[in-house]
Amino acid sequence: MSRISLKVDGVRYDDDVDPRTLLVHHLREHLGKVGTVVGCDTTNCGACTVLMGGKSVKSCTVLAAQADGQEIETVEGLAGKDGSLHPVQQAFHDSHALQCGYCTPGMIMAAVDLLAENPEPTDDEVREGLEGNLCRCTGYQNIVRAVQDAAAVMRAEVPAPRDAGTEPMEGTRGTTSPAAEEVAR
């Protein structure tokens, strides 16, 4: 057993864990954080993505012991204390960027990390940023849309410092599908 100390969604937890315990199992089975789900066990699907020290990681590929002393943020900690949804959560809900929703916790956490690095991504950059997260239901169209919608909301909330690295690439915008509402009859 090793003694670890984690801050998860703002709450500090001190626990003894087996050295082989995976972070995702620690979160789910010891801390009751079942909002983070397991999809594949092999680091392919990304459903278990959380933020560790602000960076997205697949929590099935991190040992709980490796996370000692770290700050972990899961999908359960994103909403405001008043229950108000994070802009990425709101956008996934509004844009129908989920169906069964099993990929959603990981997809949202990956998107939060993506937008922290690149507040104004092109559609291609959104796709690249979420390449490690599988969704079997949606065909991803509305996920790209949701991330773009969230990015717009977040930019309006916090005027982000801009540098050359976050400028959108010319000509790669506007490649999403037409909105469902615009569907031709």
Partner 1 sequence: MADSVTRTRTDLSSVTQDGVGTSPRRPDGTLKVTGEFAYSSDMWMEDMLWGMTLRSPHPHARIHGIDTTEALKLPGVHAVLTHEDVPGEKLYGLELRDQPVLAFDKVRYKGEAVAVVAADHPETARRALDRITVDYEVLEPVSDGRRAAFDEHCPRVHEEGSLPVHEEYNQKGNLVRYQPVRTGSFADGTPVSRLRAQAGAVVRTEYEVGMQDQAFLGPESGMAVPAEDGGVDLYVATQWLHVDQGQIAPALGLPDEKVRLTLAGVGGAFGAREDLSMQIHACMLALRTGRPVKVVYNREESFVGHVHRHPAKMRFEHGARSDGTLLYATLEIILDGGAYASSTPAVVGVASSLGIGPYEVPNVAVDAYGVYTNNPPCGAMRGFGAVQACFGYESQMDKLAEKLGMHPVELRIKNAMAQGSKIITGQVVDMPLPMAEMLRRARDMPMPPARDELPDPSDLRTLPGGVANTSHGEGVVRGVGYGVGLKNICYSEGFDDYSTARVRMEAIGGEPSVMVHTAAAEVGQGLVTIKGQIARTELGVERVTVHPSDTRVGSAGSSSASRQSYMTGGAVKLACEAVRERVFALARERGLVGAGHSDELLSLTGGKVVSETDGVLASLADLLGSDAVEETREFHHRTTRPLDPLHGQGASHTQFAMCVHRAVVDVDVDLGLVKVVALDAVQDVGKVLHPQQLAGQIQGGATQGLGLALMEEIQVEESVIRNPSFTDYLIPTILDTPPMRIEVLERPDPNAPYGLRGAGEPPTLSSTPAIVAAVRDATGRDLTHAPVRPEDIVGIDV
What type of residue sits at position 58? K
User: What's the closest the beta carbon of residue 41 comes to partner 1, in angstroms?
Assistant: 5
* For partner 1, the closer CB: 70 or 123: 123
User: What's the closest the beta carbon of residue 102 comes to partner 1, in angstroms?
Assistant: 4
Q: HEC profile for 102-165?
A: CCHHHHHHHHHHHHHHCCCCCHHHHHHHCCCCCCCCCCCHHHHHHHHHHHHHHHHHCCCCCCHH
* For partner 1, the closer CB: 118 or 138: 138
* For partner 1, the closer CB: 67 or 87: 87
Look at strands 71-73 and 55-58 and give their pairing: unpaired
Alpha-carbon distance of 28 to 35, in angstroms, equals 8
Binding site for partner 1 (CB under 8 A): 28, 32-42, 44-45, 47, 74-76, 78-79, 85, 89-90, 92-96, 98-105, 108, 124, 127-128, 130-144, 170-172, 175-178, 180-181, 183-185
User: What's the closest the beta carbon of residue 70 comes to partner 1, in angstroms?
Assistant: 19
